[in-house]
Homo-oligomer: A and B are copies of this chain.
């Protein structure tokens, strides 16, 4: 049976050309570039809460890092490095190998080095803390939205929730649509390039992990503004097409696990935003406008007010 040190050496040690010191000491060491802020985020994924216990370990390795990369994207930060703490019921090599391969595939794609962590026995739990960098004056925060700003979202929404409900057996999903939707749930694409490309133009940004309404509400409350969304403008993933209208709207507005960016930018930056989207090969859609009056209003394409029970994913309120 491999020891804790064997596991780290065999599955989690790769070259770290950027870090001054990587795995193997009491601390890792990073040297920041002058005038760069270090952006730091931390996500904990728990078996049975954030993923099913039988989730493909390769996909889980991907997702563990991707959700943190998405937080960097929402600040406009370039990925640099990460630490990972891992609690495992047993040192199962048949699980560790694909898990670490999925993890490092994403790490290499985004040039984000594993520089440290911890490995222990315990109920399966994955905690990644990620480090990125962004110029001091070009960071995207939640509290900088301005009245008059356009509200944009990247990609399409709702597919991860469709996939989750399909896995739970609560809806049916055509075979042709399944794979793409499941990939959206299990192997999300963090919008890192887009975040970096818009950081000089956008005022505020957040990544969509709990659903558009809940996450946009964080921008609104921290920026002390309100907004109107055009629900007919929301970019729906193909898997939503055949679903009931109520369920579609729930997926779009409160689906969770989208890992798209929601950001605000002044109308005179529309062309620049579209150009950034084109350059980074990331679709973006204008879905609403920031207003001085607090609260979030929903309209349809005809301008008629729509109601929706405001909600988002909360790990204690939603079981």
Which residue of B has the minimal Cβ distance to A125? B125
Q: B24 to A142, Cβ gap below 8 A?
A: yes
Q: Which residues of B contact A258 (CB under 8 A)?
A: none
Q: A27 to B317, Cβ gap below 8 A?
A: no
CB of A179 within 8 Å of the partner chain = no
A163 to chain B, nearest CB (A): 20
Q: Which residues of B contact A167 (CB under 8 A)?
A: none
Q: What number of copies of this chain does the assembly contain?
A: 2
* Docked pose: A87 CA to B43 CA in angstroms: 11
CB of A244 within 8 Å of the partner chain = no
Q: B46 to A120, Cβ gap below 8 A?
A: yes
CB of A121 within 8 Å of the partner chain = yes
Total count of chain A residues near the partner, CB < 8 A:
71
What does the 1/0 interface line of A114-143 toward B look like (CB < 8 Å)? 011111111101010101100010010111
Q: A37 to B26, Cβ gap below 8 A?
A: no
CB of A3 within 8 Å of the partner chain = yes
Which 7 A-B pairs give the minimum distances between C-beta atoms?
A46-B122, A44-B85, A26-B74, A27-B39, A32-B32, A127-B127, A129-B129
